[in-house]
Amino acid sequence: MKTALLSVWNKEGIIELAKKLAAADWRLVASGGTARALKEAGLSVTPVAEITGAPEMFDGRVKTLHPAIHAGILARDTDADRADLAAQGWQTIDLVVVNLYPFEAVIAQPDVTLEKAIENIDIGGVALLRAAAKNFARVTTLSIPADYPDDVASLNDEKFRQKMASKVFVTTSRYDNAIQNYFAALENAAKDSGKNTPINLTLYPIQTLRYGENPHQSAAYYAENPGATPMGGKLLQGKPISYNNMLDLDGAWNAVLNFDTPAVVVVKHLSPCGIATAFSVEDAVALAIASDPVSAFGSVIASNREVNADFVDEMGKLFVECIIAPSFDADARAFLAKKKNLRLLEVELDAPRVTHDLRAVVGGFLRQEVDTGDPGDSPEWRIPTKKQPTAQEMDALRFAWKAVQPVKSNAILLAKSDDERNFTVGIGGGQPNRVDCVRIAGERAGDEAKGSVMASDAFFPFPDGVEEAAKLGVTAIIQPGGSIRDEKVIAKADELGIAMVLTGVRHFKH
């Protein structure tokens, strides 16, 4: 008779599996809550304590950590090992069904205490999994309910046992990484520095992509959770999201979440080409597209409110690759379903966002905190020019300052404000010098540049950027300041009758 050891935190599917094992004449050995669940289901169960001859101790902290259990798992299929077991009066264990305390779920709770986190560090379960996985030549390990087989005869297949063993080591590695990262975060909080802390990442393949940025580049999407979905959202229609789609959607979604009011962001090739806020997103989408309708063709659009039929009407016949939003109403879904190649991605507004960027460079990686806007301890904005911004200009400047942040440096953005509607009219970025970006933003805006305000993600190193702004008809500028030539830049603004606001915060985006 073969023996199965069952000790699971997640009881999903365990009764069904145990019934199949019992029907196939397996002996069931279980501990604690698992044993109680099986007995309540009417199954015959041998308690772990009966095998070990020792009671569970310390409120269940010590149950399976005993030679009678681990020898039964680690014994190889040899005469010598069988003789050693027999000398002790112990038997082999042929199947280990274990899943671990939910440490990651517990530490994700905002009010979790250190004591509770420690209580959810599994010791015995990890030891059982590793022992069984090491001895996969004889022992089968099942670590997640999704792997419980429909036919227990598959437990006799060594290839299946090796596959399950591989999953175990992925699970225990991730589990240990989560614990290490948790304690590292505690140390960092205590000393307010993470410079010397190793980074451990376990990433799971979620989706193989058709190709990367170009057809000759292979690519895939990975996530920290094996059950994750692309962008953490739900694809409602359209082809699978591509590599380039993913980058554009990420940029657009992070940009639109900068705004509390209804907002729409249009992104093409990872560059925002239109941003607007308004009474509603159906008002905002038309304004965002109008900022640069040529670039909007083939773009992705992000909305921080539900997409409805009016939103779709305002898009007109514009071809876009994807729309990302917290929801789509039934009328919008019905109309957009006619555009079979259009991808609709639904993502909750409060879905987890990354806190750090990690970039590969030659020989290593760069890690930084994500720029989510002006930090809480930012200096107060200062107006050093003789001309003060009007109330309407100030509304536009506040909007422009948020809108310029997702634009590639050297970022320049022209915007206007009309009642509660705020919108870009021209965007220039990604050039080696700031003056060129002013000119590009002006070319995009055309006649709409006149009477606009301008935002710059970093300081003006020379007055020439202000001179170019004046030629466009810009009336007010917002920028960080901090150049050694600030006095000359401010003097040029005074000479040209332009108001200027200094924020004291830079938002480079390379």
134 a catalytic residue: yes
**Both tokens assigned to 412:** 């320049």
Q: Are residues 63 and 113 in the same domain?
A: yes
Among residues 269, 339, 387, 450, which one is catalytic? 269
What pLDDT was estimated at residue 190?
55
Whether residues 128 and 266 share a domain: the answer is no
In this structure, the answer to whether residues 84 and 152 fall within a common structural domain is yes
User: How does strand 320-325 pair with strand 299-303?
Assistant: parallel
The pLDDT score that the predictor gives to residue 56 is 74
In a domain, 219, yes or no: no
Helices (H), 279-380: 281-291, 293-296, 309-315, 330-336
Q: In this structure, what CATH number is given to the domain that contains residue 264?
A: 3.40.140.20
Task: Centre a 10 Å sphere on the Cβ of residue 6 and count the other Cβ atoms it contains.
Answer: 25
Asked if 216 is an active-site residue, the reply is: no
CATH of the domain at 166: 3.40.50.1380
- Where does 89-157 have alpha helices with state H? 103-107, 114-119, 124-134
Residue 210 lies in a domain: no
Q: In terms of domains, do 495 and 393 share one?
A: yes
pTM for the model stands at 0.78
Tens-digit pLDDT string for the chain (510 aa): 899 999 999 999 999 999 999 999 999 999 888 999 999 999 998 988 888 887 777 776 777 788 888 999 999 989 998 898 899 888 999 999 999 988 888 888 888 899 999 998 989 899 999 999 999 999 999 999 999 998 888 898 899 999 999 999 988 988 898 898 888 878 766 554 445 667 777 788 899 999 999 999 999 999 987 788 988 999 999 999 999 999 999 999 999 999 999 999 999 999 999 999 999 999 999 999 999 999 999 999 999 999 999 999 999 999 999 999 999 999 999 999 999 889 999 999 988 888 889 999 999 999 898 999 999 999 999 999 999 999 999 999 999 999 999 999 999 999 999 988 999 999 999 999 999 999 999 999 999 999 999 999 999 999 999 999 999 999 999 999 999 999 999 999 999 999 999 999 999 998
**The pLDDT of residue 135:** 95
Q: Name the catalytic one among 134, 239, 387, 488.
A: 134
Is 318 part of any domain? yes
Q: Do 385 and 327 fall within a single domain? A: no
Single out the residue in 189, 222, 248 at which a domain terminates. 189
Q: Domain for residue 355, yes or no? A: no
Give all strands of the β-sheet with 299-303 in edge-to-edge order: 234-237, 343-346, 320-325, 299-303, 263-268, 271-277, 421-428, 412-418, 453-456, 476-479, 499-502
Last residue of a domain, one of 324, 346, 368: 346
Task: Examine the domain organization and report whether 245 and 394 are in the same domain.
Answer: no
- The single-letter DSSP state of residue 53 is S
Whether residue 84 is contained in a domain is answered as yes
Check residue 60 and give its pLDDT.
66
Per-residue pLDDT at 174: 86
**Domain annotation covers residue 140:** yes
The residue written with tokens 């909305």 in the block is: 303
Rg of the chain over all Cα atoms, to the nearest angstrom? 30
Residues 6 or more apart in contact with residue 142 via CB below 8 angstroms: 17, 95, 96, 97, 98, 148, 164
Domain boundary among the residues 134, 169, 189 is at 189
User: Would you state the structure tokens that stand for residue 20, as one six-digit string?
Assistant: 């199949």
- Does a structural domain hold residue 200? no
Quickly count: other Cβ atoms within 10 Å of residue 293's Cβ: 13
- d(CA 47, CA 54) in angstroms, rounded, equals 11
Same domain assignment for residues 339 and 409: no
Q: Are residues 97 and 245 in the same domain?
A: no
Give the residue carrying structure tokens 């249009």.
266
Count of CA atoms in the C-beta half-sphere (13 A) of 413: 35
30: enclosing H helix or E strand: strand 27-30
Query: Does 368 map to a domain?
Result: no
Report the alpha-carbon distance of residue 454 to residue 498 in Å, rounded. 10
186 contacts 111 by C-beta, under 8 angstroms:
no
What is the torsion angle, in degrees rounded to the nearest 10, for the CA atoms of residue 350, residue 239, residue 205 and residue 105? 20
Q: Which residue has the tokens 């919008």?
A: 332
Which residue pairs, CB below 8 angstroms and at least 24 apart, start in 157-163? 161/136, 161/137, 162/136
Range of the structural domain that residue 166 is part of? 3-189
Phi-psi region of 23 (alpha: psi -120 to 50; beta: other; left: phi over 0): alpha
In order of 265, 317, 342, 444, the CA distances from 307 in angstroms are: 13, 16, 14, 27
CB 466 within 8 A of CB 498: yes
Claim to verify: residue 243 and residue 334 sit in the same structural domain: yes
Mark whether 92 and 136 lie in a shared domain. Answer: yes
Q: Indicate whether 138 and 25 sit together in one domain.
A: yes
Q: List Cβ neighbours of 279 (8 Å cut-off, separation of 6 or more).
A: 262, 420, 421
The count of domains in the chain is 3
Within this chain, do residues 165 and 26 fall inside the same structural domain, yes or no?
yes
